[in-house]
Structure 1
Amino acid sequence: MSMKGVSYEMSLNLGTNFLALVLNILLGLVVVPFYIAKIGVDGYGIIALATSFSSYLSIITIAIDASVGRNFTLAMRKDDHASSNAIYSSSIISALLLIVAILPLIGWFLYKIDSLVSYHGHTVNEMRWVFVAIITSFVLTFIRGLFLVPAFASNKIYIQRIIAILEIVVRTALVYLLLNASAQLSLIGVAFFLASLVSFVAALIWIVRKFPFLKLRASSFDKQIVKYVGSMSFWLVINQIGTLLFINIDIILLNHYYGPTATGEFSTVAQWHTLLRSFAGVFVAIFTPVVYKYYAEKDFNNLLKFSRYSVVAMGVVLAIPIGIIVAYSDVILKLWIGERFVHFYPLMILLTGHLIFNLSVLPILSINAVYNKVKVPGLTSFFCGGLNLVLGILIIKYFDLGIYSVAIASAILLTLKNLIFSPTYAAKILEQRFWFYYPSIGRGMALFVWVLLMSWGCRHFLVPGSWAAMCVSCVLIGLASIPFAWFVTLNKDQRLLIEKLIRRR
């Protein structure tokens, strides 16, 4: 399939992904101050810790989703309904059995939670219920993802996003209504659970209507499929452990060494890190199915072109928001949360600045999965994640930099991993020179530096004192960056491709 052949699906997926992103950003920016106003910084720290704990459970689920998605996509592209049904049923049944198997571990954690988690200002029963509800919500979301694998395989990512939007809207509405009725921490757990349940039911209704040939049957369970998917999933699990040791270990270390207040402060500022990752995830979700399509159709020439194009595209779309956030970090914190958090602006720069490298390479990580070359990346990610944990503890103990300690360790090691290993290993899989992706990464970095210069230039004339003035500054910087992005960041072929897509629209 040519690039033209996937442009319509990409446009539809892009639209719904952006809608989900905008909602995440707007609601996220509104909900965090609302949480702090209703349940305090300590309470928000508990919510952040509970969602972080769910992320550690996701090390298995994300690996299963990726492995199942790859194999189901290849089967569907061959119109092999028998294999599709076997993969579908085997994956869901195996996931349910896995959940049952880890229930004792979750039960032990919930029973001992008062001795494992630092907290104050809320009762242990409130905190325990929040963890129970958020973990249950996560389990429903995981199973929903497996039911929606056909949407990924058919490049209908917009269905997954529409259902995710439904969950976001329902959860936010329930949080607002319940906390206004009674500012109890446990009610947030109720909102998470009910929103996930609604989206789960919506996913079931869609899959039954659109893919009637897919039937969840115990008779379709195939041990060989589970074994094959499991072998790939194992190394993806190792990879996810490493990734989470980069992303989510910060909150756990802070809670252990500094308590819930520091956890809440760090989690508040880190919201912008999370939003930028969500922003990048919009494009990764669009690019990945296209890579799978080219691989399934053995169109390796377009796969090469598209993978490099995706890195440039990520650099273009990330450079402007990351550059503005870094340059205006103090202004954003003042407008968003208030004077109390302005002194954390160096933390905000530390958490977001390195993402111009670390998010730009995300599209090429799908190369590892589609070629089933996941062992070496898994071991590398696990090693670097473990080193991040050790380095974080050492910095806390010997330098006592407070909430900056873990951010410094993560920024250094994650950047080293994604600048040295990730692009060179993907190039090796594709049998290209080791520098194959570096020109694409460099183009995004050049645009990032340009945005920083434009931002600091604007600050010299005007420091925004309101959201309206901040928006005006963002628009001016964005407009000033477009010529640089068009003539410097993009090469001739990429400009021609965009012009063709615009004409077709």
Structure 2
Amino acid sequence: MSTKGVSYEMSLNLGTNFLALVLNILLGLVVVPFYIAKIGVDGYGIIALATSFSSYLSIITIAIDAAVGRNFTLAMRKDDHASSNAIYSSSIISATLLIVAILPLIGWFLYKIDSIISYRGYAVGEMRWVFIAIITSFVLTFIRGLFLVPAFASNKIYIQRIIAILEIVVRTALIFLLLNTSAKLSLIGVSFFLASLVSFAAALIWIIRKFPFLKLRMASFDKKIVRYVASMSFWLVINQIGTLLFINIDIILLNHYYGATATGEFSTVAQWHTLLRSFAGVFVAIFTPVVYKYYADKDFSNLLKFSKYSVVAMGLVLAIPIGIIVAYSDVILRLWVGEKFTHFYPLMILLTGHLIFNLSVLPILSINSVYNKVKVPGLTSFFCGILNLVLGILVIKYFNWGIYSVAIVSAVLLTVKNLIFSPTYAARILEQKPWFYYPSILRGCGLFVWVLLLSWGCRKFMLPGSWGGLMVSAIIIGIGSVPFAWFVSLNKDQRSLIGKLIRRQI
């Protein structure tokens, strides 16, 4: 199924993705308590809101990245430099024009910010600057992504990750340096902006050196390409609206109905939900280019096998961390942010437990994009997201569930969508039976249950009182899960494939 080139590229991509992930986890564990110590829970809630609003801008950017990535990959695989240049220039120029077009909307939001969000303890000018800097940082990251589309098309995801790591390191270093100098909220915005600027410059230098035939020219701008990309992007935008109404609407509703403190508390606990999504993103990032490659090469047999294998792999690598986080949620919160957050452990279980289902299906979502079958998934995601918003408001108003309200609604609806619609629709595109992906999904779920049982047993013998003790428990559970994963979760063909990949690396 795999060629040596594909497995080598996947190894590089996997390694750099894991490095980025480890940095995100380690720095997240350190930065969040640092935020709370320096600017308080309310201040951290404002930062979480600013990044959340930036995420809503991504409903456009993610859709454009996906559409451009698909078409640029197909052109690159054919060595069609003329088409590659046209797609490259057209996408960057049109994206820049789009950003200019939405500037008045962003300006209105920033002008009215004090009446839109709930805050306390900070001057409106300082808060406005934070939002300006973080939104600008996001825009730079978006344009950087378009410049780096050739890295995606050539399956050099490790380049994207190295540049992302540079941004993470620079931003974190600046945050610690500046906040230790003065605990001002605005300095966090400065850190975000400068880090994005540095990574943007690094991306430009790399693309100029490695792809000299790619030139950003107005003469290469092609309206037909823009219309084609826009037609695909439209439904991807609709899909992203739905996705963000699942993921990011929670803290906005909490801020509106419960205030800044509740927003900060929820955002703190939700950091582990975000880390798990980042962990899953490591594998999505290395699986997706391979799917595009098989499609571009018309190797549909390997595409089918690989898509099924990727769901199994995703479930297995997620089962252990999700199981441990769920089983030790109270311990993690106590060690991480203190005893005052320990009573939020049911919220942590609620935010992370369902991800064993909802993240396992992520690899097959690329099937929709590569086959350009994005209309139905877009509409489904959009209407489910709207339902999530409506039900979230109703539950907050009529039930006394506090910050658990939106988490419960989101978990239930997202699980229903991803367990019923996502796998069956992808199977339909591939002309397979509706239950084609369910055995692969269940393999990861079986390991998740096994990890929970092992964790329960370990807690009976030893309840960790330090990070070292928790690490020892996690290692014991991980080692105890390997035989189950190898002999129960994987079938013979999958064990053979993994064995070949391991021997090839040795």
TM-score of the two chains, using structure 1 as the length reference? 1.00
Letter aligned with residue 281 of structure 1 = G
Are 1:323 and 2:306 an aligned pair?
no
Letter aligned with residue 299 of structure 1 = D
Matched residue of 2:464: which SS? Answer: coil
Are 1:170 and 2:170 an aligned pair?
yes
Q: Please give the alpha-carbon distance, in whole angstroms, between the structure 2 residues aligned to 1:357 and 1:298.
A: 30
> Paired residue for 2:410?
410
Q: Please give the alpha-carbon distance, in whole angstroms, between the structure 2 residues aligned to 1:87 and 1:6.
A: 25
Q: Please give the alpha-carbon distance, in whole angstroms, between the structure 1 residues aligned to 2:296 and 2:458.
A: 48
Letter aligned with residue 206 of structure 1 = W
Q: Please give the alpha-carbon distance, in whole angstroms, between the structure 1 residues aligned to 2:257 and 2:89.
A: 44
> Paired residue for 2:45?
45
Letter aligned with residue 170 of structure 1 = V
Are 1:387 and 2:349 an aligned pair?
no
Q: Please give the alpha-carbon distance, in whole angstroms, between the structure 2 residues aligned to 1:134 and 1:447.
A: 39
> 1:343-362 residue pairs with structure 2 within 5 A?
343-362=343-362
Matched residue of 2:213: which SS? Answer: coil
Q: Please give the alpha-carbon distance, in whole angstroms, between the structure 2 residues aligned to 1:192 and 1:399.
A: 38
Are 1:150 and 2:156 an aligned pair?
no
1:81-111 superposed Cα distances (whole Å, 9 cap, x missing partner) = 0000000000000000000000000000000
Are 1:80 and 2:93 an aligned pair?
no
> Paired residue for 2:268?
268
> Paired residue for 2:282?
282
**Equivalent pair of 1:114/1:124 in contact (CA under 8 Å):** yes
Matched residue of 1:45: which SS? Answer: helix
Are 1:302 and 2:302 an aligned pair?
yes
Residue 377 (structure 1) shift: 0.1
> 1:188-337 residue pairs with structure 2 within 5 A?
188-337=188-337
Matched residue of 2:201: which SS? Answer: helix
Are 1:139 and 2:139 an aligned pair?
yes
Q: Please give the alpha-carbon distance, in whole angstroms, between the structure 2 residues aligned to 1:122 and 1:273.
A: 28
1:175-231 superposed Cα distances (whole Å, 9 cap, x missing partner) = 000000000000000000000000000000000000000000000000000000000
Q: Please give the alpha-carbon distance, in whole angstroms, between the structure 1 residues aligned to 2:455 and 2:3.
A: 35
1:464-491 superposed Cα distances (whole Å, 9 cap, x missing partner) = 0000000000000000000000001111
Q: Please give the alpha-carbon distance, in whole angstroms, between the structure 1 residues aligned to 2:5 and 2:302.
A: 12
Q: Please give the alpha-carbon distance, in whole angstroms, between the structure 1 residues aligned to 2:160 and 2:400.
A: 43
Matched residue of 1:470: which SS? Answer: helix
> Paired residue for 1:494?
494
Q: Please give the alpha-carbon distance, in whole angstroms, between the structure 2 residues aligned to 1:3 and 1:316.
A: 23
> Paired residue for 2:447?
447
Residue 2 (structure 1) shift: 3.5
Residue 253 (structure 1) shift: 0.1
CA 1:3–1:306 in 2, change beyond 3 Å: closer, same or farther? farther
Residue 3 (structure 1) shift: 4.3
Q: Please give the alpha-carbon distance, in whole angstroms, between the structure 1 residues aligned to 2:142 and 2:402.
A: 34
Residue 5 (structure 1) shift: 3.6
Q: Please give the alpha-carbon distance, in whole angstroms, between the structure 2 residues aligned to 1:105 and 1:168.
A: 28
Q: Please give the alpha-carbon distance, in whole angstroms, between the structure 2 residues aligned to 1:273 and 1:141.
A: 22
Q: Please give the alpha-carbon distance, in whole angstroms, between the structure 2 residues aligned to 1:235 and 1:209.
A: 34
Q: Please give the alpha-carbon distance, in whole angstroms, between the structure 2 residues aligned to 1:364 and 1:142.
A: 24
Q: Please give the alpha-carbon distance, in whole angstroms, between the structure 2 residues aligned to 1:503 and 1:95.
A: 44
Residue 4 (structure 1) shift: 3.9
**Equivalent pair of 1:86/1:221 in contact (CA under 8 Å):** yes
Runs of 4+ in structure 1 deviating by more than 6 angstroms, as ranges, are: none
How many correspondences in the alignment?
505
> Paired residue for 2:396?
396
> Paired residue for 2:419?
419
1:355-400 superposed Cα distances (whole Å, 9 cap, x missing partner) = 0000000000000000000000000000000000011001100002
Q: Please give the alpha-carbon distance, in whole angstroms, between the structure 2 residues aligned to 1:157 and 1:195.
A: 20
Letter aligned with residue 375 of structure 1 = K
> Paired residue for 1:12?
12
Letter aligned with residue 317 of structure 2 = V
Letter aligned with residue 318 of structure 1 = L
Q: Please give the alpha-carbon distance, in whole angstroms, between the structure 2 residues aligned to 1:441 and 1:457.
A: 25
Matched residue of 1:394: which SS? Answer: helix
Matched residue of 1:270: which SS? Answer: helix
**Equivalent pair of 1:444/1:489 in contact (CA under 8 Å):** yes
Letter aligned with residue 118 of structure 2 = S
Letter aligned with residue 459 of structure 1 = R
**Equivalent pair of 1:357/1:419 in contact (CA under 8 Å):** yes
Q: Please give the alpha-carbon distance, in whole angstroms, between the structure 2 residues aligned to 1:239 and 1:303.
A: 23
Residue 255 (structure 1) shift: 0.3
Residue 411 (structure 1) shift: 0.1
Q: Please give the alpha-carbon distance, in whole angstroms, between the structure 2 residues aligned to 1:132 and 1:33.
A: 24
The alignment yields a C-alpha RMSD, in angstroms, of 0.6
**Equivalent pair of 1:3/1:302 in contact (CA under 8 Å):** no
Q: Please give the alpha-carbon distance, in whole angstroms, between the structure 1 residues aligned to 2:448 and 2:411.
A: 17
> Paired residue for 2:126?
126
Residue 47 (structure 1) shift: 0.1
Letter aligned with residue 127 of structure 1 = M
1:45-82 superposed Cα distances (whole Å, 9 cap, x missing partner) = 00000000000001000000000000000000000000
Matched residue of 1:401: which SS? Answer: coil
Letter aligned with residue 366 of structure 2 = S
Residue 41 (structure 1) shift: 0.2
Residue 235 (structure 1) shift: 0.1
> Paired residue for 1:374?
374
Letter aligned with residue 449 of structure 2 = V
> Paired residue for 2:108?
108
Q: Please give the alpha-carbon distance, in whole angstroms, between the structure 2 residues aligned to 1:216 and 1:141.
A: 18
